[in-house]
Amino acid sequence: NLSERLESAFKNIKGEGRITELNIAATVKDIRRALVDADVNYKIAKDFTDTVKDKAQGSKVLLAVNPGQQMVKIVQDELTELMGGTESELELKGAPAVILIAGLQGSGKTTFSGKLANYLKTQKGKSPLLVAADIYRPAAIDQLTVLAGQIGVDIYSERENKDAVAIVQNAIKEAKSKNKNVVIIDTAGRLAIDEVLMKEVADIKAAVNPNEILFVVDSMTGQDAVNTAKAFNDRLNFTGVVLTKLDGDTRGGAALSIKYTVNKPIKFVSSGEKMDTLDVFYPDRMAQRILGMGDITSLVEKAQAQFDEEQAKKLEKKIRKNQFDFEDFKQQLEQIKKMGNLKDLMGMIPGMGKAMKDIEISDDSFKGVEAIINSMTPQERANPDLISQSRRLRIAKGSGKDIAEVNAFMKQFEQMKQMMSMMNKMPMGKMMPGMGR
Is residue 157 at the binding interface for ligand GDP, with CB under 6 A as the rule? no
Q: How far is the CB of 289 from ligand GDP (least distance, A)?
A: 15
Q: How far is the CB of 207 from Mg ion (least distance, A)?
A: 20
**Helix 21-37 crosses helix 67-82 at what angle (to 10 degrees)?**
40
Residue selected from 27, 88, 107, 110 as contacting Mg ion according to rule CB under 5 A: 110
Is the Cβ of residue 76 or residue 219 nearer to Mg ion in the bound state?
A: 219
CA 174 to CA 209: how far, in whole Å?
17
Rounding to the nearest 10 degrees, give the CA dihedral for residues 284, 288, 294, 299: -40
CA 1 to CA 79: how far, in whole Å?
16
Please work out, in degrees rounded to the nearest 5, the angle formed at the alpha carbon of residue 31 by the alpha carbons of 27 and 35.
170
Is residue 244 at the binding interface for ligand GDP, with CB under 6 A as the rule? yes
Q: How far is the CB of 113 from ligand GDP (least distance, A)?
A: 8
Please work out, in degrees rounded to the nearest 5, the angle formed at the alpha carbon of residue 278 by the alpha carbons of 272 and 282.
120
Selection from ligand GDP, Mg ion, none that 272 binds (CB < 5 to 8 A by kind) is ligand GDP
Site string for ligand GDP, 383-412 (x = CB under 6 A): ------------------------------
CA 9 to CA 31: how far, in whole Å?
6
Is residue 302 at the binding interface for ligand GDP, with CB under 6 A as the rule? no
The phi-psi region of residue 222 (left if phi > 0; otherwise alpha if psi is between -120 and 50; otherwise beta) is: left
The span of 108-116, 195-203, 356-364, 374-382 binding Mg ion (CB under 5 A) equals 108-116
107 annotated ligand-binding residue: yes
Q: Following DSSP, what letter does each residue of 242-263 receive, concatenated?
A: EEE-TTSS--SHHHHHHHHHH-
Is residue 219 at the binding interface for ligand GDP, with CB under 6 A as the rule? no
Query: Measuring CA to CA, how many Å separate 234 from each of 99, 215, 229?
Result: 18, 12, 9
245 annotated ligand-binding residue: yes
230 annotated ligand-binding residue: no
Interacting positions 137-156 with ligand GDP (CB under 6 A): none
What is the size of the binding site for ligand GDP (CB under 6 A)? 17
Selection from Mg ion, ligand GDP, none that 106 binds (CB < 5 to 8 A by kind) is ligand GDP
Enumerate binding residues for ligand GDP (CB under 6 A).
103, 105-111, 189, 244-245, 247-248, 270-273
